[in-house]
């Protein structure tokens, strides 16, 4: 268990490295445009200093922050730079602010040029180290908390850092192979096991393959990507949620927010030099056409009757550009089929593709003779360019109306893992549950708070409401949950507190400030702070649940309060609002739930598991001696056995789709399978079960008694 948990940590570290490299470039001077770089710095500097919520001086402290962030962004695992490099870079440590004021990129150029040299050396480092067996009898350790690890003193120590990291990766794979062999031997006494030496060689080969694939990705990166990392070090000095989005990133953000794109409806991934079809989007053009399958390799792309373009070896973002296109246009894909390896040309007419998992969905369950529903809202989505297109508020209103027709008497709104989205839709969705009144207060820099109201007297849902949250419910989710809590319109149940992101960002296209013709991307900038109608900010604090339930995240470090540079908590004057006083037994229901949770051995086990995970998170040191590593791993696995059944739960409740979806299933079996899987998971979800207990106990008040604030 320890190996698997720690491997996750290591994998995350690798992904951080990879994602940081994805925002930089290996084709070092490809598409380099010094004029564009200077324009970007000039515009970003002016927007931030004039309009960001925080007034921040570009001084020595600012310069030091950018210095550290940029270097850490390039080399988070201390694989490239030495102390000698850092010393040389340090001559600019307190000069970056001055350079930015004159659009000077000397610091960036120095670090970037040195980094490109180091990247070139990296392949020989890992190739040479993985060419020979590691000594697993040697007693040594590695600490993977790289923030605590100093930069290497010299090249020899740097290579030793590489050696230890690669040795750990190999060791993890060896241990996994040995465990699989043991399991196979137990099932089949005739199973032939391999020697440690053979397994070690196989593991090194796998690590080498992974490293080669990583550096193929690095080679695809361009100057724009690298410079974006530097710009994000600059804009991030204002607050953690202010980011620069290069054109490709901006496009992905807009797609993610709207939940739609125009194209063929296929998720693609890069494996080596090839573009593979990972998954087809249910209901999309490729899915309807029927010939393209998951696992197929796309070799060439042609637009209509045009000449095919070879995309083998092309970076994934660029390949996707040619495959996507306007609704109604034809794309012809030359594909190597997964099943028989044959080559086939597939013609697909592009269309609007809706990413179904982005949108509202619901499920109905019967408990004690009454019908209830759970509405899953994965994000507060909106299409900024097409106000007539579906958004989360319109979809929520429609979904509630459908559920009312089915006789549902209570709703669970599931906001777990909902990271936010549109402030506008958060306000509109809150308005579905109250007559009218303030929902949230927003405040610009140096100005008085503005109260944002629901002005529509219509109440879409008068019944009981429970809002289910966790530690990853953030931003717009917290606006909605806070409003429901302040109005006492719903019971908030879930993690101890939500994420704590109480700021509002605006996406600002940079080209509107210049006549420069090339796309300069966008700045996602913090322009406001929002406050609850009771006056308190959700910044840092989040929303505290009325009923806190232990979760695996209970003791983990994450959330706004753990981010460097996060804005502080504060409060403003309370808005003028009237609680709905919807329930006769609000306090009693909360008390009953807390008693159930406190006495339930299942929740006690979850709490113990959360503490154990926290201990693992804090333990970042590994032995690189095989016997000691295996011994530690065995001890950890024995400790983990206590938690083997931690999330085993069976409610004996049956969740079903609302009636309108049943007709869709006849045409879309993929959607049907997804819903069946979701319903099955709901029946095994201990948090949903307790939310239903709470919902079933709530009694609506029959009179018009109100509580004034």
Structure tokens at 374: 């759970």
DSSP secondary structure, 85-110, as one string: HHHHHGGGTTTHHHHHHTT--HHHHH
Concatenate the DSSP letters of all residues of 601-661 into one string.
HHHHHHHHHHHHHHHHHH--EEE-SHHHHHHHHHHHHHHHGGGTTTT-------EE--HHH
- Write out the two tokens for 700: 């609506």
Strand segments, DSSP code E, in 99-216 are 141-143
Rounded Cα gap, residues 205 and 535, in angstroms: 59
- Which two tokens mark 252? 């992905």
Q: Which secondary-structure segment (H or E) carries 48?
A: helix 34-51
Which distant-in-sequence residues (6+ apart) come within 8 Å of 424 by Cβ?
382, 393
376: left (phi over 0), alpha (psi -120 to 50) or beta: beta
356 in Cβ contact with 671 (< 8 Å):
yes
- Beta-bridged to residue 636, according to DSSP, are none
Query: How buried is 369 (Cβ within 10 angstroms: 0-12 exposed, 13-18 middle, 19+ buried)?
Result: exposed
The candidate with the shortest Cα–Cα distance to 440, out of 539, 560, 569, 537, is: 537
Q: Which residues are marked as active site?
A: 475, 486, 501
Assign 365 to helix, strand or coil: strand
Pairing mode, if any, of strands 370-376 and 410-414? parallel
Phi, psi for residue 551 in degrees, rounded to 5: -140, 170
> What are 277's two structure tokens?
């079809």
Buried b (16+ CB within 10 A) or exposed e, 229-260: bbbbbbbbbbbbbbbbbbbbbbbeebbebbbb
Is 202 buried (19+), middle (13-18) or exposed (0-12) by CB count in 10 A? middle
d(CA 694, CA 587): 11
89, 67 Cβ separation under 8 angstroms: yes
**Angle between helix 60-74 and helix 223-235 axes, rounded to 10 deg:** 140
């Amino acid at each position: 268990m320890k190996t698997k948990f720690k491997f996750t940590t290591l994998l995350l570290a690798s992904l951080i490295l990879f994602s940081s490299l994805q925002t930089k470039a290996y084709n070092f001077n490809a598409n380099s445009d010094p004029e564009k770089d200077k324009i970007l710095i000039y515009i970003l500097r002016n927007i931030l200093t004039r309009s960001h919520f925080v007034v921040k001086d570009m001084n020595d402290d600012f310069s030091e922050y950018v210095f550290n962030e940029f270097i850490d962004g390039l080399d988070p695992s201390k694989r490239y730079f030495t102390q000698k490099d850092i010393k040389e870079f340090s001559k600019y440590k307190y000069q970056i602010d001055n350079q930015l004021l004159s659009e000077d990129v000397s610091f960036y150029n120095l670090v970037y040029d040195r980094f490109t040299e180091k990247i070139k050396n990296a392949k020989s480092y890992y190739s040479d180290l993985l060419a020979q067996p590691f000594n697993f009898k040697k007693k040594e350790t590695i600490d993977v908390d790289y923030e605590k690890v100093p930069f290497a003193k010299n090249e020899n120590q740097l290579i030793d850092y590489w050696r230890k990291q690669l040795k750990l990766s190999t060791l993890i794979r060896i241990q996994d192979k040995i465990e699989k062999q043991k399991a196979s031997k137990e099932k089949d006494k005739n199973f032939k096991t391999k020697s440690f030496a053979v397994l070690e060689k196989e593991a090194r080969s796998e690590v080498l393959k992974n490293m080669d694939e990583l550096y193929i990705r690095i080679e695809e990166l361009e100057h724009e990507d690298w410079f974006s990392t530097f710009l994000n070090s600059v804009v991030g000095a204002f607050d953690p949620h202010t980011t620069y989005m290069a054109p490709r990133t901006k496009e992905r953000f807009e797609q993610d927010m709207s939940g739609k794109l125009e194209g063929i409806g296929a998720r693609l991934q890069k494996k080596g030099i090839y573009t593979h079809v990972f998954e087809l989007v249910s209901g999309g053009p490729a899915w309807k056409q029927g010939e393209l399958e998951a696992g197929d390799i796309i070799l060439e792309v042609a637009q209509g009757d045009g000449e095919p373009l070879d995309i083998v070896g092309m970076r994934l973002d660029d390949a996707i550009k040619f495959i996507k296109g306007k609704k109604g246009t034809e794309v012809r894909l030359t594909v190597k089929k997964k099943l028989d390896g044959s080559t086939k040309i597939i013609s697909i007419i592009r269309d609007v593709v809706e990413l179904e998992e982005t949108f509202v969905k619901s499920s109905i369950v019967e408990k004690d003779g009454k019908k209830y529903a759970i509405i899953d809202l994965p994000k507060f989505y909106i299409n900024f360019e097409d106000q007539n297109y579906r958004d989360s508020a319109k979809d929520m209103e429609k979904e509630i109306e459908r559920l009312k027709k089915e006789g549902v008497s209570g709703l669970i709104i599931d906001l777990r893992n909902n990271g936010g989205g549109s402030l506008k839709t958060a306000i509109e969705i809150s308005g579905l549950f109250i007559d009218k009144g303030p929902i949230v207060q927003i405040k610009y820099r140096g100005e008085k708070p503005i109260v944002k109201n629901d002005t529509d007297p219509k109440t879409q849902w008068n019944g009981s409401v429970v809002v289910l949250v966790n530690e990853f419910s953030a931003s717009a989710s917290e606006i909605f949950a806070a409003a429901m809590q302040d109005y006492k319109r719903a019971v908030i149940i879930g993690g101890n507190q939500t994420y704590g992101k109480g700021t509002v960002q605006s996406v600002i296209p940079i080209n509107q400030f210049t006549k420069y013709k090339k796309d300069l991307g966008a700045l996602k900038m913090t322009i406001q702070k929002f406050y609850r109608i009771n006056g308190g900010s959700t910044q840092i604090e989040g929303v505290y649940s009325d009923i806190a339930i232990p979760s695996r995240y209970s003791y983990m470090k994450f959330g706004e309060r753990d981010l460097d540079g996060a804005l502080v908590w504060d409060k403003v004057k309370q808005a003028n609002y009237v609680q709905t006083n919807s329930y006769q037994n609000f306090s009693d229901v909360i008390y009953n739930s807390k008693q159930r949770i406190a006495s339930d051995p299942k929740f006690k086990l979850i709490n113990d598991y959360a503490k154990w995970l926290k201990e693992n998170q804090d333990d970042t040191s590994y032995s690189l001696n095989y016997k000691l590593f295996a011994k530690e791993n065995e001890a950890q696995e024995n400790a983990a056995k206590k938690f083997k059944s931690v999330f085993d739960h069976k409610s004996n409740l049956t969740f079903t789709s609302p009636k309108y979806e049943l007709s869709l299933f006849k045409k879309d079996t993929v959607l049907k399978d997804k819903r069946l899987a979701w319903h099955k998971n709901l029946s095994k979800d201990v948090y949903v079960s307790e939310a239903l207990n709470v919902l079933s106990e709530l009694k609506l008040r029959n009179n018009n008694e109100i509580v004034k604030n």
